């Protein structure tokens, strides 16, 4: 898409920097508001949701005061994450297709193929989640330092 933009050598880097700065400022605002409504961090981390690894849910529940309100707010956050994952998948498969089309990847013939029944590069859409799942398995492997007998 960048090659279709006028003045891409100036506009695209400026847009990347501007969106990064805007996302950083919005993230900082979210962090500050979450810290403002969290009275006791140790109590949040010790709560059942904090023990499961989702302390932000307890913060939302404590600040809203009702399970229904907290459920609606957390559902909105989860929906945003789902839509973001779909957008990331579409972006990554488009990049893989573009590199495959330019013969810049191994198995480029497979990656540059558009299926007639879907009119989309469906092999890219299948391989990208598989790659992400395999990379997440590497991250989730227990470390050697937690094994018994290590010092």
Q: What is the pLDDT of residue 108?
A: 72
Say if 12 falls within a structural domain: yes
Say if 45 falls within a structural domain: no
Q: Is 31 helix (H, G, I), strand (E, B) or coil?
A: helix
Q: What is the pLDDT of residue 63?
A: 86
Residues in a beta bridge with 115: 120
For 63, residues 6+ apart whose C-beta sits below 8 A from its C-beta are: 37
Q: Is 1 helix (H, G, I), strand (E, B) or coil?
A: coil
Q: What is the pLDDT of residue 118?
A: 67
Say if 98 falls within a structural domain: yes
Cα–Cα distance measured from residue 49 to residue 141, given in angstroms and rounded to the nearest whole number:
23
Pair (136, 70) in one structural domain: yes
Burial of 74 (0-12, 13-18, 19+ CB in 10 A): middle
Over its length of 151 residues, how does the chain's per-residue pLDDT go in tens digits?
666 778 878 888 899 899 999 999 999 998 998 888 888 889 888 988 888 888 889 998 888 889 999 999 999 999 999 999 888 888 887 887 777 778 777 777 777 777 777 676 777 777 777 877 787 777 665 655 554 555 4
Say if 48 falls within a structural domain: no
Pair (127, 82) in one structural domain: yes
Number of structural domains the chain divides into: 2
Q: What is the pLDDT of residue 142?
A: 61
Say if 125 falls within a structural domain: yes
Say if 41 falls within a structural domain: no
Q: What is the pLDDT of residue 26?
A: 96
Domain with 11, as residue range(s), is 1-30
């Amino acid at each position: 898409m960048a090659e279709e933009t006028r003045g891409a050598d100036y506009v695209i880097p400026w847009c990347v920097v501007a969106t990064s700065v805007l996302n950083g400022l919005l993230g900082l605002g979210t962090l500050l508001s979450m810290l403002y409504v969290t009275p006791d961090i140790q109590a949040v981390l010790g709560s059942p949701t904090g023990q499961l690894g989702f302390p932000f849910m307890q913060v939302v529940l404590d600040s809203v005061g009702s399970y229904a309100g907290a459920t609606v707010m957390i559902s909105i956050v989860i929906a945003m994450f789902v839509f973001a994952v779909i957008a990331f998948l579409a972006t990554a498969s488009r990049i893989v297709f573009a590199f495959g089309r330019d013969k810049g990847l191994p198995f480029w013939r497979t990656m540059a193929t558009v299926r007639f029944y879907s009119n989309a590069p469906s092999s890219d859409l299948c391989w990208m989640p598989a790659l992400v799942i395999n990379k997440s398995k590497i991250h989730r492997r227990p470390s050697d330092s937690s094994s018994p007998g290590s010092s």
